[in-house]
Structure 1
C-alpha cells in the first residue's frame, strides 16, 4: 500500500520542480503540466510496474503521453524516479538538450515521441494488442487531453480497442475543460464525453483527477470489465496547485514572471509544510 501523505507531498514537489524548470528555461506549458501532475504522480508512484534501472524491461507497464505538449511534469517525474539524472532538467529546451518541449524517446522511460495530438491512443492500441498476442500481462496507459478529443484518429483508435477487446488498455483523459484558445465547449464541444466513449465500447470510470489517492485506487483496479478497454475520465483543474493559474486559459503556455514564480513557489512550499 502506498503512503497517502507521500503521494500528496510528491505531487506538490513535482509541481515545484516543473515550475522551476519552466521559469529557468523561459518556456513551457505551465497550466497543462500542473493539470496532469496528480495523474502522473499516481501512475509512477502508485500504479505502474516499471524499473528505472532497466527501462526496456519487457514486462514493464507502458505509458504513452498523447498529450505531449504537457511534457514538463513528465520530465520531472522521470528524473525523480531515476530514469535520468535530475541535473538534466536544467537543460530543458536549451540548444542540444534531449529534453525538448515534447516527449522524446531518446530519453529512458519514454516509449514514443508524441506531440501531434491524436496519435498516442493509436500507438497504445498497437502496444496493447501486441501484449495480447505475445501472452504478456503488462498494461498500457495513455494520457490524452480533452481538447484532443476533437481529433478523428482518437475515435478510430477507440473503435479498434473495443473491437480487439483490449482490456489491458487504460485511456485517461485530463478533463480540465480548457484548451489553448478557450473552453472545450466553445472551441469544439465534445459533450457528453462519457456517453461517447461508452458508445464506442469502453468501460468509463469518472474520477477526481486532482485527488492522487483516489487516482491510485481507481487505476489499480483497472480493467473494470473483461474484454473491454477502460477510459478514466479524470476531472481536473487547469493550473491546479497555483492559484493565479487555476482555470485561466492564458496559462496554457505561459512562463511566470519573477513575482508570479515567487508567489507560486511560496504557495506550494506552504502546502508541503502542512503535510510534514
Structure 2
C-alpha cells in the first residue's frame, strides 16, 4: 500500500467508518435516550446536574479557557509575525537585536503559516459546526417532550436541509465538545514539524473534547452521540484545512523520534547479519 493510500485510509477511512457505526448504533436506535434516562428524575422532572451551578462552572464555563486562549494566542502570533519583515533594517532593528526582541520577532515570522493555519482552522471548523446546527435543527434533551420540554425529539437526518436553515433547534452536533476538539489544530502543527509527542497531544485533545461533551449529558443539554458526531465533523474539517495549508506529504511524514528509532533498528539488524569471525 502506498503512503498516500495509507494516509487517507487512516485519516479519512477510519473516521467515516466510525461515523457509519455511530449512525447505526445511536441514530437508528434508542440508545441515546436510554443513556440520558439514567440521569433524569421523572419525579422532579429534572436531570441530576441540570441546576448545579458549580458543576456548570467547572465543566462548561472554565474549560473554555483552553480553546479560547489557544485561538487568541494564534491571532496575536499571526499579527506579530507581520512585524519583522516590515521593519526597516537600521538602527532600530539593531536596537531590537541588543534588547533580544529581534530573535522572537524572527521566530514569529518564520512560523507565520502555522499561526494563520490555527486561526483559519478554528474559523472554518466553528463555521462548519454552526452550519450543521442550523441546518439540522435538533433540540436538546431538556427541550424535548421526553424530558418536560415542548419540542419533539428528532434525529439530525430527519430535519437536514442543505441550503436553508431547518429550524430554531441548535443542539447537534455538540458545540461545547467541538470547542475542545478544535485544539486539534495544534496536533496538525505538531505533525508538520514531526514532533515525536504529536500522538500524545492528539490523545489529550480527544480526551478534552470528550470530557467537554459528555459532562453536558447529566445536565440534559446533549445526548451522548452529539459529542461523537462533533469529534468526527471537527476532525474531517480540520484535516481538510491542514491538507490545504501543509500538503499530504508533509503531514504523513513519521515523527523524527520514530524515524531515528527505525534507523537504529535497521542498523542493529545489519550488525546482527554480519558474521562474527573469531580468532584462533
The question of a shared fold, defined as TM-score above 0.5 by the shorter chain, is answered with: no
Give TM-score, length-normalised by structure 2.
0.25
Give 1 or 2: higher strand fraction: 1
Give TM-score, length-normalised by structure 1.
0.25
Give 1 or 2: higher helix fraction: 2
The structure with more radius of gyration: 2
